[in-house]
A and B are shown apart, each in its own frame.
Chain A
Amino acid sequence: MSAFNAIGEEREIDREEFTPGIEPQPTWCPGCGDFGVLKALKQALPEVGRTPEETLLCTGIGCSGKLNSYLDSYGFHTIHGRSLPVARAAKLANPGLEVIAAGGDGDGYGIGGNHFMHTARENHDMTYIVFNNEIFGLTKGQTSPTSPKGHKSKTQPSGSAKDPIRPLSLSLTSGASYIARTAAVNPNQAKEILKEAMEHDGFAHVDFLTQCPTWNKDAKQYVPYIDVQESEDYDFDINDRGEAQDMMYEAENVLKDGTVLTGRFYVDDERPSYQEEKQSLGEMPEEPLAERYFDDDYEWERSYDLLDRHK
């Protein structure tokens, strides 16, 4: 189909292809964890074998939302909290695209929390990266849904009375089929995890710990981190829901005390993606819907029977 030649192209992809030549330079603060995500993503994408042109990166609003400005691919910088619904429809409309959504913890777990829960539930075949810096960055340092209890900020001067969100556990109960946590300070692991997430056939959620040296000075820089797959101390079956759940619960608890557990927490390769479920019900065409509009042989005139039942 001539309209989307870029899709499914078989060729070696050069790392530099995802890097804009000159403008724009990232406007993130020096030392910001967001650089780590960008770097890991640029490294992972070529290894997944996707070209910049078959990649669509949808972001929300926040410092994190600017990610796609610095990556050469198709990009839709949406609105606060809404990257997921835009992204998942683009994937349904054209499953040939590699669709990634990204945003901050305020964006993803706060204002967009409802979409997170439902996208995971439906198990859309896409990757979701949440830049978790435990703070609102772009709006200058307010308490976010992942900020620890007692966290003081200008809008919560006496300290937050709320327990933080448990993103991993929330993801699991909502239905994500790939759940991992990594950290910007750990580029190699981050790259591997992003690569797996993109290759995973279903909703892959990566809680990406990113430091915000500007507004969250007290916060840990997420070092030293422990890779649960590498460490002898943690032995659990990532395909087992129950064991994964316990492991996530522990990871979320110990983060409060400064122990950073990263790695893969849950992988379900069996569960069909939403697209597969919909296709098996006959509610989604096998061929990409977007291609129909360029297919001269496609029969558009089947609407004639619409009026019959009204005669």
Chain B
Amino acid sequence: MADNELIWRIAGGSGDGIDSTSQNFAKALMRSGLNVFTHRHYPSRIRGGHTYVEIRASDEVVDSRGDGYNFLLALGDSFARNPKEDAYYGNEEVKPLSENLDDLREGGIIIYDSGLLDASEIPDFEERAEENNWHVFDLDLRSMAREHGREVMRNTAGVGVTAALLEMDLDEIENLMENAMPEKILEPNLTILHEAYDMMVEDYEFEHDLRIPTGEHDEEQVLISGSNGVAYGALDEGCRFIAGYPMTPWTDVFTIMSQHLPKFGGISEQVEDEIAAAALALGASHAGVKAMSGSSGGGFALMSEPLGLAEMSETPIVLVEAMRAGPSTGLPTKPEQGDLEHILYSSQGDSCRVVFAPGTPQEAYEQTRKAFEMAYNYQIPAIVVIDQKLSGENQNVPASAFDRDPNPSLGPTLTEEQLEDAPHDPTGKFQRFSHDDPNDDGVRPRSLPGQKGGRFLVTGNEHNESGHIEEDPDNRITQMDLRMKKLESIREDLDSDPETSSQTYFGPDEADYGIVTWGSSQGAVREAVERLNDQGHSVKAIGVSDLMPFAETEVTEFLESVDEALVVEMNATAQFRGLTQRELGQFGEKLTSLLKYDGNPFEPAEVVEGFEIQIAGNEEAPTANTRLEPAVSD
């Protein structure tokens, strides 16, 4: 736990503007020199229903939500106010206050909007406040907002009050509001901000000792989410075509791309279903454009057909799988890492695809670029796996971490001049699937429709050198081996430069114990490793991103170097542990799983606790919401 940190939670109803307010506030904190991380919790409902956003700010690195929080701004759920709908909403109105008390740390601050919320409706509120030494302020933010503007501006009043309580400058906040708001609503908002601030300073005594942390960045920062990372990586890498169908949380990437692509001269298509979406990406790529599509679990299931076609026809495409909790439509707005096996093996036949699972927004950017590079250089589908957590959480990253060199290369594609010398069959067809393997990497350069001398046929059936359907056993073996060889070549390519490894290491170089994780659970693990070492344990961790082809050498070295390891992932069946054992054929007896699948991401303390229990040799569940699964040999 960072000693000097603010974890501010703003809670209200879905649709109450919680998101935009917190985005601005987080940016203000970042601009004041702090590291920030935002976590968003929302129900699967459009309007109303308890939702909150947490902003964690510290002078130290923060890449997870942390454990608990220390400042609650409870605005009330304005959509729960329709008296006719009492039957449906029940006690919804007070939820932004009542539902959030469990995680509030001792000595924390509560501001609640007495215009909407009545604390006396919450049994034992007073006692709990006293017991935990909470500093409670009931303020009629709603009336203040109404008086100077509109009721929704309660948010702004809340920010003004927060700033006063933490002795924070309003400059950055004002600045951001000026940039983000149209003239008409800016004026009333600024008035409300100052009114709230002044009221706090003038009318109240502060007894709490929570103050805004101070920090400084040595270079310019940006606040971005994993979805931003994926989209910007794709754009910088030359992706100019996207097709999709909305599904939470993939919609974030799809939306960002759709907003930017036309400005880049690209095309975005919202189509009839996910089968079509992936098929469109294939068609665009076949015609010579870098293309992507994507979805979340259920939509990705529909894509397994075109995904297989991409493998067989050796058409490069990039797909994004933004996981949410399953099976089926599962928990639409909650994260899980349960689609791993689905992503690796869905579609008929042997899997021939590249799969990367970035762990942070910055990695999302880098690995999306890498996914395009591998897809186009090796004519293979590449999948970028994120989840609801990574897609929606924002984190500050140095702007310089983005290598923005454009890469318009389509990979091994012949020019018309080169096609003149390329092999052709007696009918004049270009032998796009030639048995010759010019670079000994399984990749045969392609031509594009419209090129002179490049005519060929491509099919999802097994085919001969010109692309005609062919069932001859020798041809089958040759074509199959060449396609599978690409995976080996990609592994060598990825391993060739350790500097650009996608695996991330935490903790000391040498340690007795290891933690292995993948994707978005990385943030909580990093922090847990820090705490464990501070407590005198000897622990290091690896966040694995290369899932296919698997980061065999790196994971083997890591596991050889530790006595035992904890595998941390958000699913019920230890899918990543299974993959590791299957890929490496060893280490089974060293690997204990720490699993969580309640719809919420890991908190660092849960990893710490799980680890401590593992060391103690105890197989008991560490907390109510996680499960330890003991090691089994291979």
Contact = CB atoms under 8 A, between A and B. Distances in A.
A85 B273 CA distance: 10
Nearest to B469: A69
A78 B280 contact: no
Interface size range on A against B: 35 or more
Contact of B399 (A91, A92, A278, A307): A307
A161 to B, nearest CB: 27
Contacts of B282: 78, 86, 89
A229 interface: no
B252 to A, nearest CB: 14
B222 A310 contact: yes
A79 B467 CA distance: 15
Contact of B266 (A75, A289, A301, A306): A289
B276 interface: yes
A52 B455 CA distance: 8
A72 B454 CA distance: 11
Interface in A68-107: 68-69, 72-79, 82, 84-94, 96-97
A307 B398 CA distance: 11
B235 A118 contact: no
A56 B287 contact: yes
B426 interface: yes
Interface in B291-325: 291, 305-306, 308-309, 313
B454 A53 contact: yes
A79 B305 contact: yes
Nearest to A311: B222
A302 B261 CA distance: 11
Nearest to B232: A306
Given A97-B449, A307-B222, A311-B220, A92 B267 contact: yes
Interface residues of B, number: 78
B427 A21 contact: yes
From A20, A52, A118, A301, residue with most partner B Cβ within 10 Å:
A20
B277 to A, nearest CB: 8
A267 interface: no
A85 B264 contact: no
B428 A72 contact: yes
B122 interface: no
Given A85-B271, A90-B287, A115-B272, A77 B459 contact: yes
B283 A90 contact: yes
Interface stretch (B99-107, B238-246, B584-592, B620-628): B238-246
Interface string B257-279: 00010111111110111011101
B522 interface: no
Contacts of B280: 85-86, 88-89
Nearest to A68: B457
B458 A77 contact: yes
A78 B287 contact: no
A246 to B, nearest CB: 29
A84 B306 CA distance: 13
A2 interface: yes
Given A53-B452, A307-B402, A77 B264 contact: no
A20 B31 CA distance: 67
A278 B268 CA distance: 10
Given A77-B459, A92-B269, A302-B264, A4 B450 contact: yes
B281 interface: yes
B43 to A, nearest CB: 27
Contacts of A68: 457
Contact of A76 (B31, B286, B468): B286
Contact of A89 (B236, B266, B281, B406): B281
B287 A97 contact: yes
Contact of A114 (B222, B235, B272, B286): B272
B460 interface: yes
A290 interface: yes
A292 B288 CA distance: 9
Contacts of B20: none
Given A3-B415, A278-B267, A292 B461 contact: no
Nearest to B273: A114
Nearest to B312: A79
Interface of A: 2-7, 20-24, 52-54, 56, 58, 61, 66, 68-69, 72-79, 82, 84-94, 96-97, 114-115, 117-118, 278, 282-285, 289-290, 292-293, 298, 300-304, 306-307, 310-311
17 contacts: A3-B415, A3-B450, A23-B425, A73-B455, A74-B455, A77-B457, A92-B267, A92-B284, A94-B289, A94-B450, A96-B450, A278-B267, A289-B267, A293-B289, A306-B232, A307-B222, A311-B221
Interface of B: 31, 220-224, 228, 232, 235-236, 238, 240-241, 243, 260, 262-269, 271-273, 275-277, 279-284, 286-291, 305-306, 308-309, 313, 399, 402, 404, 406, 408-410, 415-417, 425-429, 448-461, 467-469
Q: Nearest 5 pairs between A and B by C-beta?
A: A89-B283, A300-B406, A77-B459, A290-B288, A85-B279
Given A21-B427, A66-B469, A89-B287, 17 more contacts: A3-B448, A22-B426, A23-B468, A77-B461, A79-B308, A82-B305, A82-B306, A85-B279, A89-B280, A90-B287, A93-B289, A278-B267, A285-B265, A290-B450, A302-B264, A303-B236, A303-B264
